[in-house]
Structure 1
């Protein structure tokens, strides 16, 4: 597998020099300075590519080219934004950047309630608490008809949680949920997120799914012609938030998406942490079923609770079968080599990492400090090396 590393551009506290030190060869980045919905010019793409290549690295994956909200809701300027997206794909293909990760989550991107969840080993993880989220939705945001989204037990638990919170805890929770996390869309204030959510009030899962499929029918032929592989990131968490539709959460969702546009250019980002936050997703089975259409991999592990809560665990010590996932991916790479496919090495990155050691107290993006990801990459590298050298690639 090609080892890659997420980089948020020149302002990222983790530098390209640090990425070289990690041993990764590929960079996963985006042009975050360009407004969502605007086309990326070839000049801007080449400028970023040159910056990466001057350090002896390659720009392996774009993460992400954001999809404008007008596309998600099929609003009046939808076609204008789709044409801009097509232009971006053409320019990326011309520049030789061949994989584009994107998502179709409404309003909020990846969401956590605690960015500093202390673990027994004194490091810090990202956590999603269902109780805290429901408390925010019901008693802080006070979303219209929010109670309809929850059980009586969830509502009572959230009420007790809210009543125990200080004003600072309320402020911090709101910041964690709606202020924006790295790589996501712009953050909101309280009135702004209420307005954004209200736009989706009458949009069903099926309607939202059809909007996604309509987008794919437009952009996948362009991506295919440009030699670009689109790879959608799953919902994170993989279930509804704020009563909003979510359509990339399960194996059935992935199946429907791939069927909607049966092209190798229409593929998946296999995010083990996102899909794995649901206990009913069998990740090894998903890798085996969708293997030929997996164009990018996020290797991350979680510990789940029965109420939908989870925290991000050690890469090799969670509820997901990381060894089985990696083995299935390596077998797919072998199959691609046997078939002569050009994309034989699947780009993977250690997704997120614990805040630990000298990184504690330093400026870093939540989940994207240096040492925790370096630890995760080293562990995953060891798994890959072991599997490649014990004759397991053709097993199963």
Structure 2
């Protein structure tokens, strides 16, 4: 496995800033973001040439990049909206595959129906949608790493029970997870370690962070006594043969300037020490 920094989270917010930071801190990988690809925020479509230029810049610096974080244009409100969503996703998968990105870390949760009687219909919608997008992912030779949601009160596709149901219904090898440690802890608590082994073949990208078992995302913590055991998590990642990227996120708030640089330096030094002594 390798450590990585999300482009935009350090320096001046540019890819070149992230590359310079990774070089100086000896962090081997950069995680790209769709929002930072020129033209994406306006069109909702990834420009393959612009993305290829970003991948080339990372490679030229002697670093690697195989993962992109992606908030897709997303609506399943009706047949027309679903068709548009699938069309854009297909085009974006084609672009990332051509640029050499293998893992697409996606945020795709739907709000839970107000009326519990509508939950069965939404599950059918979710399963149909994932059947379509995993088929497209297979065609393009990439994998989809849905960002794990820990908020079972907000979304049907959340917590171990939700993802277990999804994987049973859509068993495609391209259907996997961004293993967000903080979100897993929110929904599953101490069960995190067993669920991690259960979902091992589906873990394509890892977000390392701490939370407390609640609905809240903030304040942010790193390694706290009543949070997830980060060393144990790394031990399990090694045990299951995880070879992807681990990226810190949601660092504790640090006063004054250079908060991103300081927080990420702290986290990456911490993780590097764990990896060295496993």
Q: Give yes or no for the alignment of 1:324 onto 2:208.
A: no
- Deviations along 1:217-240, one digit per CA (max 9) or x if unpaired, are 1121221122201110022x5233
Structure 2 equivalent of residue 228 of structure 1: 142
Structure 2 equivalent of residue 68 of structure 1: 73
Q: 1:44 to 1:208 in 2, by over 3 A?
A: farther
CA apart distance, 1:81: 2.4
Equivalent pairs, count:
270
Q: Of 95, 100, 115, which aligns to 2:99? A: 95
Structure 2 equivalent of residue 179 of structure 1: none
Structure 2 equivalent of residue 4 of structure 1: 4
Distance, in Å, in 2 between the alignment partners of 1:258 and 1:12 is 36
Task: State the superposition RMSD in angstroms.
Answer: 2.7
Distance, in Å, in 1 between the alignment partners of 2:78 and 2:236 is 38
Distance, in Å, in 2 between the alignment partners of 1:249 and 1:349 is 21
Distance, in Å, in 2 between the alignment partners of 1:294 and 1:220 is 15
The TM-score normalised by the length of structure 2 is: 0.85
Distance, in Å, in 2 between the alignment partners of 1:213 and 1:11 is 40
CA apart distance, 1:265: 0.7
Q: Contact between 1:299 and 1:348, CA under 8 Å: does it hold in 2?
A: yes
Partner SS, residue 282 of structure 1: helix
Q: Give yes or no for the alignment of 1:31 onto 2:34.
A: yes
- Deviations along 1:158-205, one digit per CA (max 9) or x if unpaired, are xxxxxxxxxxxxxxxxxxxxxxxxxxxxxxxxxxxxxxx9xx656844
Where structure 1 has 5 or more consecutive residues not aligned to the other structure, the ranges are: 108-196, 334-343, 388-396
Q: Of 44, 47, 69, which aligns to 1:41? A: 47
Q: Of 16, 19, 24, which aligns to 2:19? A: 16
Q: Give yes or no for the alignment of 1:378 onto 2:274.
A: no
Partner SS, residue 75 of structure 2: helix
Distance, in Å, in 1 between the alignment partners of 2:257 and 2:92 is 35
More helix by share: 2
Q: Give yes or no for the alignment of 1:351 onto 2:264.
A: no
Q: Contact between 1:38 and 1:81, CA under 8 Å: does it hold in 2?
A: no
Q: Contact between 1:352 and 1:373, CA under 8 Å: does it hold in 2?
A: no
Partner SS, residue 230 of structure 1: strand
Distance, in Å, in 2 between the alignment partners of 1:383 and 1:300 is 14
CA apart distance, 1:270: 0.8
Q: Contact between 1:36 and 1:68, CA under 8 Å: does it hold in 2?
A: no
Where structure 2 has 5 or more consecutive residues not aligned to the other structure, the ranges are: none
Q: 1:378 to 1:304 in 2, by over 3 A?
A: same
Q: Contact between 2:4 and 2:29, CA under 8 Å: does it hold in 1?
A: yes
CA apart distance, 1:106: 4.0
Distance, in Å, in 1 between the alignment partners of 2:235 and 2:177 is 18
Partner SS, residue 187 of structure 2: coil
Q: Give yes or no for the alignment of 1:272 onto 2:181.
A: yes
- Deviations along 1:101-148, one digit per CA (max 9) or x if unpaired, are 0012347xxxxxxxxxxxxxxxxxxxxxxxxxxxxxxxxxxxxxxxxx
Structure 1 equivalent of residue 257 of structure 2: 362
Q: Contact between 1:234 and 1:249, CA under 8 Å: does it hold in 2?
A: yes
Q: Give yes or no for the alignment of 1:77 onto 2:81.
A: yes
Distance, in Å, in 1 between the alignment partners of 2:139 and 2:239 is 28
Distance, in Å, in 1 between the alignment partners of 2:198 and 2:97 is 28
CA apart distance, 1:299: 1.2
CA apart distance, 1:322: 1.9
Q: Contact between 2:177 and 2:203, CA under 8 Å: does it hold in 1?
A: yes
